[in-house]
């Protein structure tokens, strides 16, 4: 009923609007049409009497003219008829000619003409037709009453209203019927959906009460829902505590084992005893805070000269040394193993293969053999450290491409999450590796395989597609080989927030002052900085060239801009690294000779390792930081610089070829190969107003704060928790099916395998 009232009201509104809009047009149309009708009649009358009138006027037959006029006036629409002479005097008329009529009121020309006048208070059309007489041209005047035209207009308006009302009412009735029909169908579907939900709930309630396997499955499904909710809410507030809580609730009693080549703490023997060193490694910077939060065991190559002196009988040591929370298990490698596995296959083969930095990869069979053997040795170590059959094993980086498969074979219940910290090239590039199939199938032993970006995930899937027989599900980004499914996912790595190295830092003003003083620079010098391992992928040469160009094009910066490059020695046995170091040193000298002067060197190149606290002090002292990687999986230096600037100042110049540029788009993004554009970007950074620096820095800091490393780890571990629960549900479901088929089983299987 309500619907009909609603539609009726709408229909009336439409009718009223239509009448308001259309009726003036309709009335005027009818009136025009009536007027033309009258004019036509006048012409007909005139044509029929024209000759007779001429004769009667010539004969001056006044009485006959009067009789003729009376006869013509019998036509009910003809109000009056008269004759105006050439002096505009009404000479003849019928009896009912209105007294107020005068010949001056009407147009009189040598053509027929029509005027609208008011005569006897009525609208009147006056037709004026020329008739020549001996005394000059006179006019026959025919007055027609126009009232009837108005009546016709009013009638037309009335009919129009009735017609529109009928159309609107019929339309409203039809629309109401259609709406009622649709609504009934919709209500039916809502009712059945509610019924379904009720039934579903009833099923589950029954399952909670049901004992044994069914009850257990129900518990797992509820738990799985919770994990999904946590993953979806993973955008806010990740910190060590939320990570710990997420693990405690979603992966209770789980053992976490990390495997990487580089260890988080290196003990070296120095002239004054044992020195503790934190390596310059993005991998270590990211995983260490996670391990501090979660606990567990980290298995890594013991590379320090004093490492053996510190460990216990099982090659373990609790770390961090100041307040231990997890175990570092060291694996010892012979020089031969290191040369083949680490320097050879990993760093002369896979490293240049995966980075597009145009250094030729070297593939030697002997290196490959060592690589395989060392992967197997780490597999032994993992199996030995595992205290349960189903640990979560986090395999790190390109040093261990074969390890996931080895572990899958030996610990089939383990959840293996592998993270590839460097880029994955396109399949064409990867095809040059002589052991590509082994590497791919090694990695596909993982449960989840992570890369920093979707782009690298796609490259990997395409490579698998091209070289290995497998089933690829692109919708779920998974690859199945030999019955085992691996999920390929992007997880952009990050740093902890706030970074540990920020604690205890002096205010920025003081950092600026003390760093400049230590470097022998004036207080007001503009300082640019680059800090990383001395690696050819970092674009160190290219950034020096851009400084050279800046000082050439904008010499005003001489003596007022200094670029400080800290380069930590790395992989120094390899010729590509030795060559790079020599080239960079020579270039720095040339640039300093070209633009330097007494007491002024535009480039300060310091080849040494800086501990994180010192790195952060330098970041805080700088006006700008250059991260110009030629190719980089992520590059955490960019994120560390942002995190170090709690004053929200400083400019980040960031290569578009570093994964970090996908997230930190408020940096000044550059192509490191374009030294002209790089130098102009330096110039822009040096002149950037503080307000702009702050606006950019605020956005970047918010991003790094929210997408911190605890979120990175949390997402991977929760994904692992989800997969574990799903497998468990499927395992129990098939167990239940084989013992006693239950009516709701198909429903459970569906729930378990979706998403
Ligand atoms: C990159 C790699 C890490 C490695 C780091 C330092 O970030 O992805 O796995 O630890 O470089 O290299 P290094 O050879 O000194 O461990």
Is there an atom of ligand 1 within 6 Å of 452 CB?
Answer: no
Average pLDDT over residues 595-602: 97
Q: What is the pLDDT of residue 197?
A: 36
Is there an atom of ligand 1 within 6 Å of 303 CB?
Answer: no
Taking the whole predicted model, whether its pTM rises above 0.85 is answered as no
Distances (CA, A) of 473 to 83, 205, 452: 101, 35, 20
Among 651, 626, 617, which residue's Cα sits nearest to residue 518?
617
pLDDT tens, residue by residue, 410-433: 999 999 999 999 999 999 999 999
Confidence of residue 18 (pLDDT cuts 50, 70, 90): low
Ligand 1 center from residue 428 Cα (angstroms): 25
Helix ranges (H only) for 312-431 are 335-337, 351-354, 365-385, 403-410, 427-430
Output the average pLDDT for the chain. Answer: 89
Least confident residue range of 45-54, 227-236, 272-281, 568-577: 227-236
Residue 731 in tokens? 């395992």
Average pLDDT over residues 280-284: 95
Among 388, 395, 379, 380, which residue's Cα sits nearest to residue 259?
395
Atom of ligand 1 nearest to the CA of 342: 14
pLDDT tens, residue by residue, 601-657: 999 999 999 999 999 999 999 999 999 999 999 999 999 999 999 999 999 999 999
Confidence of residue 25 (pLDDT cuts 50, 70, 90): confident
Is there an atom of ligand 1 within 6 Å of 659 CB?
Answer: no
Confidence of residue 206 (pLDDT cuts 50, 70, 90): very low
| Whether residue 212 has pLDDT greater than 50 | yes
Q: What is the pLDDT of residue 173?
A: 74
Q: What is the pLDDT of residue 743?
A: 47
Atom of ligand 1 nearest to the CA of 633: 8
Atom of ligand 1 nearest to the CA of 282: 7
Q: What is the dihedral of CA 162, 167, 172, 173, to 10 degrees?
A: 100
Is there an atom of ligand 1 within 6 Å of 281 CB?
Answer: yes
Q: What is the pLDDT of residue 752?
A: 37
Query: d(Cα 569, Cα 654) in Å, to the nearest integer?
Result: 22
Residue 53: half-sphere exposure toward Cβ, Cα within 13 Å: 28
Is there an atom of ligand 1 within 6 Å of 246 CB?
Answer: no
Is there an atom of ligand 1 within 6 Å of 282 CB?
Answer: yes
Q: What is the pLDDT of residue 123?
A: 84
Ligand 1 center from residue 262 Cα (angstroms): 7
Q: Which residue has the tokens 């703490």?
A: 265
Which string of DSSP letters, residue by residue, matches 525-584?
-EEEEEEEES-GGG-HHHHHHHHHHHHHH-GGGTTTEEEEEEEE--STTSHHHHHHHHHH
Is there an atom of ligand 1 within 6 Å of 628 CB?
Answer: no
**By CB neighbour count within 10 A (0-12 exposed, 13-18 middle, 19+ buried), where does 513 fall?**
middle
Ligand 1 center from residue 748 Cα (angstroms): 45
| Whether residue 189 has pLDDT greater than 70 | no
């Amino acid at each position: 009923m309500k619907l009909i009232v609603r539609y009726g009201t709408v229909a009336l509104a439409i009718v009223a609007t239509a009448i308001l809009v259309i009726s003036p047009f309709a009335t005027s149309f009818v009136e025009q049409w009536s007027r033309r009708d009258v004019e036509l009649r006048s012409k007909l009358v005139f044509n029929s009497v024209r000759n007779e009138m001429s004769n009667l006027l010539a004969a001056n037959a006044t009485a006959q003219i009067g009789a003729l006029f009376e006869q013509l006036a019998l036509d009910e629409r003809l109000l009056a008829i008269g004759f105006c002479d050439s002096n505009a005097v009404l000479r003849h008329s019928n009896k009912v000619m209105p007294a107020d009529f005068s010949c001056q009121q009407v147009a009189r020309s040598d053509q027929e003409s029509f005027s609208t006048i008011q005569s006897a208070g009525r609208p009147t059309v006056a037709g004026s037709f020329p008739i020549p007489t001996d005394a000059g041209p006179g006019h026959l005047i025919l007055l027609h009453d126009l009232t009837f035209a108005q009546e016709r207009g009013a009638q037309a308006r009335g009919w129009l209203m009735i017609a529109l009302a009928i159309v609107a009412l019929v339309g409203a009735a039809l629309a109401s019927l259609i709406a009622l029909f649709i609504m009934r169908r919709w209500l039916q579907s809502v009712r059945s959906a509610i019924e379904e939900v009720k039934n579903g709930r009833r099923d589950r309630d029954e399952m909670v009460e049901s004992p044994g396997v069914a009850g257990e499955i129900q518990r797992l499904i509820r738990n799985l829902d919770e994990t999904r909710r946590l993953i979806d809410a993973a955008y806010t507030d990740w910190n060590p505590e939320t990570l710990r809580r997420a693990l405690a609730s979603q992966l209770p009693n789980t053992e976490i084992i990390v495997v990487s080549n580089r260890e988080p703490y290196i003990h070296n023997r120095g002239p004054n005893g044992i020195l503790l060193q934190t390596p310059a490694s993005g991998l270590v910077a990211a995983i260490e805070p996670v391990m501090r939060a979660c606990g567990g065991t980290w298995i890594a190559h013991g590379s320090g000269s004093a490492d053996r002196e510190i460990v216990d009988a099982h090659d373990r040591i609790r770390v961090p040394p100041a307040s231990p929370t997890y175990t570092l298990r060291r694996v010892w490698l012979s020089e031969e193993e290191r040369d083949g596995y680490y320097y050879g296959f990993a760093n002369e083969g896979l490293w240049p293969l995966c980075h597009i930095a145009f250094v030729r990869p070297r593939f030697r069979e002997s290196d490959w053999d060592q690589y395989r053997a060392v992967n197997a040795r780490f597999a032994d170590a993992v199996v030995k450290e595992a205290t349960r059959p189903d640990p979560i094993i986090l395999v790190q980086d390109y040093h261990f491409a074969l390890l996931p498969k080895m572990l899958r074979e030996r610990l089939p219940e383990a959840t293996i999450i592998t993270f590839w910290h460097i880029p994955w090239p396109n399949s064409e590039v990867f095809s040059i590796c002589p052991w590509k199939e082994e590497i791919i199938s090694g990695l596909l032993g993982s449960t989840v395989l992570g890369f920093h970006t979707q782009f690298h995930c796609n490259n990997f899937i395409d490579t698998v597609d091209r070289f290995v027989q497998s089933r690829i599900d692109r919708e779920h980004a998974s690859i199945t080989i030999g019955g085992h499914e691996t999920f390929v996912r992007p997880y952009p790595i990050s740093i902890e927030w706030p970074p540990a190295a920020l604690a205890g830092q002096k205010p920025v003003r003081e950092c600026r002052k003390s760093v400049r003083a230590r470097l022998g620079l004036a207080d007001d010098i503009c300082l640019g900085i680059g800090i990383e391992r001395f690696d050819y992928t970092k674009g160190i040469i290219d950034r020096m060239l851009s400084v050279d160009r800046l000082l050439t094009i904008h010499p005003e910066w001489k003596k007022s801009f200094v670029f400080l490059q800290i380069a930590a020695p790395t992989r120094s046995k390899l010729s590509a690294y030795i060559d790079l170091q020599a080239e960079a040193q020579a270039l720095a000298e040339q640039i300093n000779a070209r633009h330097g002067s007494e007491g002024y060197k535009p480039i300060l190149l310091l080849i040494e390792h800086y501990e994180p606290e010192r790195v952060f002090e330098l970041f805080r002292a700088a006006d700008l930081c250059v991260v110009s990687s030629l190719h980089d999986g992520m590059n955490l230096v960019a994120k560390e610089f942002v995190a170090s600037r709690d004053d929200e100042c400083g400019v980040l110049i960031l290569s578009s070829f570093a994964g970090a540029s996908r997230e930190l788009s408020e940096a000044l993004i550059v192509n490191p190969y374009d030294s002209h554009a790089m130098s102009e970007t330096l110039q822009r950074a040096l002149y950037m107003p503080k307000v702009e620096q702050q606006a950019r820095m605020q956005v970047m800091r918010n991003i790094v704060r929210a997408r911190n490393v605890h979120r990175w780890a949390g997402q991977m571990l929760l994904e692992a928790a989800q997969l574990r629960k799903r497998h468990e549900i499927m395992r129990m479901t098939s167990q239940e099916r084989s013992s006693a088929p239950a009516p709701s089983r198909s429903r459970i299987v569906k729930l378990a395998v979706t998403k």
